Amino acid sequence: MTTLLESRLEEHATPTAPHVRLAPHLLDCLRCPGCSTDGPLVQDVRAHGAEVVSCTHCGSTYDHPDRILNLSNTAHSANPVFEQEFDDWEHNAEHYIHEPNSPLYQLLHTRKTKTFGITGCDAPIVLDLGAGTGYFSHYLANLGCHPVTLDFSPKMLQAGMKSYDLPAAVLYATPPLPFRSESFDAVIANGMLHHCKAQGALGAVLSEIHRVLKPGGMLYVFDRNGAWAGRCLHHFVLRIKELMQNRLTASASASRHEPDFMLEDLQSVLDAGFRIQRQRHISTLPTFATIVATNTLKYAGWPRLASTCQTLARPLLGILEQGLAARCFTVEQCLCLSKTTPESANERRVPESTTPRAVRTNRGRHT
Ligand SMILES: C[S@@+](CC[C@H](N)C(=O)[O-])C[C@H]1O[C@@H](n2cnc3c(N)ncnc32)[C@H](O)[C@@H]1O
Ligand SMILES: [Zn+2]
């Protein structure tokens, strides 16, 4: 029989921090940012015990503290917009993680994923680009997908790792993308592409998305549609959010100055080699507004009132959002796009039937 002393000694002999294995699907799709070759990249334990990922071609090494693979590049340092955005997201991380903690948050994501029938069948490998705290990745992992969560903000990724234990997270600023060509079944850009537009990098990011997708792979874009009414309401909600952030002593975001994702941006997507499979407009506004308002109540010191409001609001929100899903009121356009071959270039024009009317009439009016 094992004595207490023996079992304590055994416990002591067992390392408390065993070798951290990175998800195999992540290692399989990596391309070394140092030499831009396909490596391969392998996990290594150095003599002094530090764990790194190293490139078998050029010898570059990358560490992965808390299972966040640090491939960070400095390419953005010359771009002031990029720098500003980076600072904003670093400041926003603690605040941003609160929204998914609301029980209403699921409604937003269920609407998006159901609209496009995103499922985990065949365990697809999905890149969650500009993933923030990685709620979408978490949702995809629960569906049976293998997500790779990429963001340039260490704090956003750290907050996400703490909350969701994401399977594979990468710290990196796109473009380019640190992945092999044709390695993903799908790419999701949720609230991401309008940031690339602000950074002057939309075309380059789109061609990188095209490169890393497998033939016939899918690109899902969820982004602001630029409709006037939707934008006004959205900024009103952001104002409440800012007030809440001040209360939490976090810094305010620059969101009010972000560009929208307009018709010409959709044309850039098609020019990069994608074809529209489906296009929808959804209003996530009532849910988003309620989350912000009830979180405000919660942090103001009335958690019970906040949860009562959430319970009462839940059944109403779905109905309300469907009623508001007219283009002029929507906040987001949802695009389901498939990768095309260069030969089908002449099919890439924006079909008139899918042209969002509100976007067209409000061109040039954004703040
Ligand atoms: C509006 S948030 C969306 C976050 C997430 N997709 C979600 O739906 O919750 C935009 C995210 O994009 C990230 N981001 C912006 N530009 C980036 C870039 N060039 N490379 C990597 N991440 C970027 C920001 O750090 C931020 O987390
Ligand atoms: Zn290398």
Q: Nearest ligand to the C-alpha of residue 39?
A: 2
34 assigned to some structural domain: no
Whether pLDDT at 193 is above 90: yes
Whether pLDDT at 17 is above 50: no
53 assigned to some structural domain: no
Per residue in 133-185, pLDDT (tens digit) is: 998 999 889 888 999 999 999 999 999 999 898 999 999 999 999 999 999 99
For the CA of 128, the nearest atom of ligand 1 = 6
For the CA of 130, the nearest atom of ligand 1 = 12
Query: 330: Cβ below 6 Å to ligand 1?
Result: no
Total number of domains constituting the chain: 1
Whether pLDDT at 309 is above 60: yes
Whether pLDDT at 14 is above 60: no
Query: 113: Cβ below 6 Å to ligand 1?
Result: no
Cα first-last separation, the chain: 75
Domain span holding position 81: 66-363
59 assigned to some structural domain: no
Closest to 92 measured CA to CA, from 187, 186, 195, 174: 195
Distance from the CA of 39 to the center of ligand 1, in angstroms?
27
Q: Tell me which residue has tokens 């529209």.
A: 276
2 assigned to some structural domain: no
The pLDDT, as a whole number, for residue 312 is: 87
Instruction: Show the tokens assigned to 57.
Output: 């071609």
Average pLDDT over residues 294-299: 78
Residues 6+ apart with CB under 8 A from 229: 328, 329
What are the DSSP E strand ranges found in the chain? 41-45, 51-55, 61-63, 68-70, 125-129, 146-151, 169-171, 184-190, 213-224, 274-282, 332-339
Q: What is this structure's pTM?
A: 0.82
Query: 253: Cβ below 6 Å to ligand 1?
Result: no
| Alpha carbon distance 33, 202 (integer Å) | 20
Lowest mean pLDDT of 56-65, 174-183, 284-293, 358-367, name the range.
358-367
Query: 158: Cβ below 6 Å to ligand 1?
Result: no
Whether pLDDT at 365 is above 50: no
90 assigned to some structural domain: yes
135 assigned to some structural domain: yes
For the CA of 201, the nearest atom of ligand 1 = 19
- Alpha helices (H) along 14-148: 24-29, 80-96, 105-115, 135-143
The pLDDT, as a whole number, for residue 109 is: 77
Query: 156: Cβ below 6 Å to ligand 1?
Result: yes
290 assigned to some structural domain: yes
Q: Nearest ligand to the C-alpha of residue 35?
A: 2
Average pLDDT over residues 19-25: 85
Per residue in 232-254, pLDDT (tens digit) is: 776 777 777 666 666 544 434 44
Query: 135: Cβ below 6 Å to ligand 1?
Result: yes
**What secondary structure letter does DSSP report for 251?**
P
Among 81, 150, 151, which is best to mutate for testing ligand 1, by the most ligand atoms less than 8 A from CB?
151
Query: 136: Cβ below 6 Å to ligand 1?
Result: yes
Task: Please report, for residues 20, 54, 56, 61, the alpha-carbon distance to residue 43 in angstroms, rounded to integers and kept in the order given.
Answer: 9, 6, 10, 9
Distance from the CA of 52 to the center of ligand 2, in angstroms?
13
14 assigned to some structural domain: no
How many C-beta atoms lie closer than 10 Å to residue 43's C-beta? 16
The identity of residue 52, as a single letter, is V
- Interstrand relation of 125-129 and 146-151 (parallel, antiparallel or unpaired): parallel
Whether pLDDT at 226 is above 90: no
- Indicate the pLDDT class of residue 367, thresholds 50, 70 and 90: very low
Residues 6+ apart with CB under 8 A from 288: 108, 234, 237, 331
**What secondary structure letter does DSSP report for 22?**
P
Highest mean predicted confidence (pLDDT) among 205-214, 281-290, 325-334: 205-214
Query: 149: Cβ below 6 Å to ligand 1?
Result: no
Whether pLDDT at 125 is above 90: yes
User: Which residue's CA is minimally distant from atom 13 of ligand 1?
Assistant: 130
CATH of the domain at 229: 3.40.50.150
Lowest mean pLDDT of 224-228, 249-253, 324-328, name the range.
249-253
The pLDDT, as a whole number, for residue 294 is: 82
Distance from the CA of 81 to the center of ligand 1, in angstroms?
14
Query: 89: Cβ below 6 Å to ligand 1?
Result: yes
